Amino acid sequence: MIKITQVLLVVFFLNSFSACTEGNKSDSGGLYPEKADSTNLPELLIFLEENQIANIVNEETTLQNGKKRMRGIKPVPQDFDDFRGDSLDEVYWNKMSVIEGDFRGASIRSARCSDGNFRKSDFRAADVRWSIFNGSTMDSANYEQSRLFHVKVSYADLSNSNFRGADMFGMEGHFTKMRNCDFSGALMKDSEFLD
């Protein structure tokens, strides 16, 4: 009698265990039907050759309305300005607006740009190290392959932005909105995003 009970107990245990693993397989197959595609991830800016950076910066782009951007003036930034490849280190653009601005390849190190509006701007291959954009509106922007090393974006809105291949090492954003962003291939070591 004891042997039959032990055998039935072992059979019951094995049956329940196999049912659990089969259920997990079907659930995970439904949640993740295909493996993630890791091909064509962009490289970090530090691994790009000079000619690759030049290709990004020199690519002709227009505004959403089809018009060409006007060259930006550092002391008086305006919406739709073109600052490609410019040196904007240590600029103080508090509460400034550069909507749809082009900052590709620009050096914007140690800048103070709090409470500004940089919606739909292009920061590809830009060097934005140690800058402060707290409280700024920066949604729908392109930060692909940019260097955002220790950038502060607390209380900023970065929703719908592209961070593919961006160097976000040490980036800090408390209460930052980052909905629907693409972080494929981004380096986010020591980044701090708290709610």
pLDDT digits (tens, 9 = 90+) for 14-27: 676 665 555 555 45
Are 69 and 158 part of one and the same domain? Answer: yes
Domain enclosing residue 109, as ranges: 43-195
Q: How far apart are CA 82 and CA 90, in angstroms?
A: 18
pTM: 0.79
Dihedral over Cα of 61, 66, 67, 73: its sign: negative
Task: Indicate the average pLDDT of the chain.
Answer: 89
Are 96 and 153 part of one and the same domain? Answer: yes
Are 167 and 122 part of one and the same domain? Answer: yes
Q: How far apart are CA 167 and CA 121, in angstroms?
A: 18
Are 62 and 24 part of one and the same domain? Answer: no
How much is the pLDDT for 115?
A: 98
How much is the pLDDT for 155?
A: 98
Are 101 and 190 part of one and the same domain? Answer: yes
Q: How confident is the model at residue 35 (pLDDT cuts 50, 70, 90)?
A: confident
pLDDT digits (tens, 9 = 90+) for 47-106: 989 999 999 999 999 999 999 999 999 999 999 999 999 999 999 999 999 999 999 999
Are 95 and 185 part of one and the same domain? Answer: yes
- Three-state DSSP class for 177? strand
Are 24 and 99 part of one and the same domain? Answer: no
CATH of the domain at 105: 2.160.20.80
How much is the pLDDT for 17?
A: 64
Are 89 and 182 part of one and the same domain? Answer: yes
